[in-house]
Structure 1
């Protein structure tokens, strides 16, 4: 019998692209997309879709049993900037949904779990350059706190109950297909839209704020790669560091100017600047490279070229 996959939070920025990729790999009938509402009709209409509330254990369990699901990708979460506005909601959603899935795996309803962590687990006291896999983690955002705690629980469930849970710490993710969802690295997507639409962009981070970034295709590739690796190869069950490239708003603007010379950028840092200041500027992902052969493909020039090419018809 072919294995069935459930994506919880399939309508989000990463969830939607992951859904298309997994359907291409495993067949439309073997990948069930789910979310709390029908807010992404492309996903809803592209294959099997279920309304699932990640906060409701029964809702998740019923869907898993109905479709004989054995692998769950839990992509539902409240992100960093939104989480600062609604701290308790972010805590509840991010933690409760994880416990539901880990408990279902512990009870053997599912065999394998993917749960994304984030560079938000790091904080102001973490080394900024080439942040190592094992280091000081004192996150200063609600989102980061939920991700750090989540990592501890993933490792705990793996050690105590042999739950096959796998995780990567996503950096900022850049995609042309979906609009950003309330994160601190959103500027790196907005800037391309504004460059094409208005030839100018007012950035909410200062010009020299370097952050680790990854093009969406690379993020999806990493997610698929870690999940298809042999269980023995996955030596870290909290979450793997993942790096693509690091750049500043000034550098991304310069790469856009090569294609749109009249593009102008201004800077008005807001509350997200403080969040960005607490995060690493570059990440060491040697462990991911060593354990499951991770490697990124897109550099900044390639990202800019692809983003402008794909978004141009829209404007």
Structure 2
């Protein structure tokens, strides 16, 4: 995953306290944890953020929402509601009924879909955000709008191909360097900027990233684990897109203002990915033998 843009648009009336574990959190003056609504929450980042926030503030205080029918696991994991961001009254009812304090706004159409249906993209991405901001002004909510610059699945597929002994074909040139970050760092950055003290924030929008690497650089790291791994390069139209993007993402302001620090570099990311995939394969094999 490439770097992210984080925006904290409005500041609610809440008080900062430090927990026994030393982590800065934001609670109500009466000590209650915040009530949080996540729109577009059924994506990978939405579900991951919901787990993180529920671990910190309680399952009942984090409400997931989307326009998609949720899986049984999602329903059993905690509160989930239907929320169409184009329906102001629907959102208003959720905010009032669930006493929402924080609004994490993931709902948006990605560029590929948006280019195919520009009018819908304008409605969802602009009118939807406008609805969120209007509700935030009306109910004094904290609004947080994360945005990925892009995603490249080759940097995920390479781990599956390597551990399963498959040859890989990459759609980028071997030297195409792009800014990346591991999902755990990404999710942690979302929470850290949400709870950062107001007096530390010098702006409302921040970049965050962790590392930059090219296909040939990640291949070299993968081969430390799987020396026989093989790859060929066949650049396609996605190479043209990658060529327009920067090699390095500047997140110096996040590091300076609220102490952002990534935990995973390329080596650490490869190690944890292979550890997780091996564990997953072992569980799947054990399930088959039962």
TM-score bin (small chain): 0.7 to 0.9
Which deviates the most, 256-265 or 66-75? Answer: 256-265
Tell me whether 1:31 sits opposite 2:62 in the alignment: yes
Match of 1:292 among 252, 255, 258: 258
| Per-residue deviation, 1:184 | 4.0
Match of 2:203 among 236, 256, 262: 236
1:84-107: CA deviation from partner (whole Å, max 9, x where unpaired):
444443333222221111111122
CA RMSD of aligned residues (A): 1.9
Partner of 2:187: 220
1:4-83 alignment, distance < 5 Å: 4-83=35-114
| Per-residue deviation, 1:3 | 2.0
Q: Distance in 1 between matches of 2:247 and 2:215?
A: 13
| Per-residue deviation, 1:267 | 2.0
Q: Is the 8 A contact 2:135 2:141 kept in 1?
A: no
Cα distance change on mapping 1:206 and 1:306 into 2, 3 Å: same
Q: Distance in 1 between matches of 2:108 and 2:71?
A: 16
Tell me whether 1:254 sits opposite 2:220 in the alignment: yes
Q: Is the 8 A contact 2:65 2:81 kept in 1?
A: yes
Cα distance change on mapping 1:203 and 1:117 into 2, 3 Å: same
Match of 2:128 among 97, 109, 113: 97
Which deviates the most, 255-264 or 24-33? Answer: 255-264
Tell me whether 1:201 sits opposite 2:168 in the alignment: yes
| Per-residue deviation, 1:226 | 0.5
Match of 1:272 among 235, 238, 245: 238
Cα distance change on mapping 1:98 and 1:249 into 2, 3 Å: same
Q: Distance in 2 between matches of 1:226 and 1:89?
A: 30
Q: Distance in 1 between matches of 2:109 and 2:161?
A: 25
Q: Distance in 2 between matches of 1:269 and 1:39?
A: 36
| Per-residue deviation, 1:10 | 1.4
Report the 3-state secondary structure (helix = DSSP H, G, I; strand = E; otherwise coil) of the residue aligned with 1:222: helix
Q: Distance in 1 between matches of 2:268 and 2:156?
A: 14
Report the 3-state secondary structure (helix = DSSP H, G, I; strand = E; otherwise coil) of the residue aligned with 1:91: helix
What TM-score comes out, normalization by structure 2 length?
0.80
Mark the runs of 5 or more structure 1 residues left unpaired by the alignment: 120-182
Report the 3-state secondary structure (helix = DSSP H, G, I; strand = E; otherwise coil) of the residue aligned with 2:77: coil
Cα distance change on mapping 1:48 and 1:277 into 2, 3 Å: same
1:129-169: CA deviation from partner (whole Å, max 9, x where unpaired):
xxxxxxxxxxxxxxxxxxxxxxxxxxxxxxxxxxxxxxxxx
Q: Distance in 2 between matches of 1:292 and 1:112?
A: 17
Cα distance change on mapping 1:84 and 1:267 into 2, 3 Å: farther
Cα distance change on mapping 1:293 and 1:37 into 2, 3 Å: same
Q: Is the 8 A contact 1:240 1:285 kept in 2?
A: yes
Q: Distance in 2 between matches of 1:87 and 1:196?
A: 40
Cα distance change on mapping 1:258 and 1:86 into 2, 3 Å: farther
Partner of 1:150: none
Q: Distance in 1 between matches of 2:84 and 2:165?
A: 38
Q: Distance in 2 between matches of 1:184 and 1:204?
A: 13
Number of aligned residue pairs: 250
Q: Is the 8 A contact 1:213 1:247 kept in 2?
A: yes
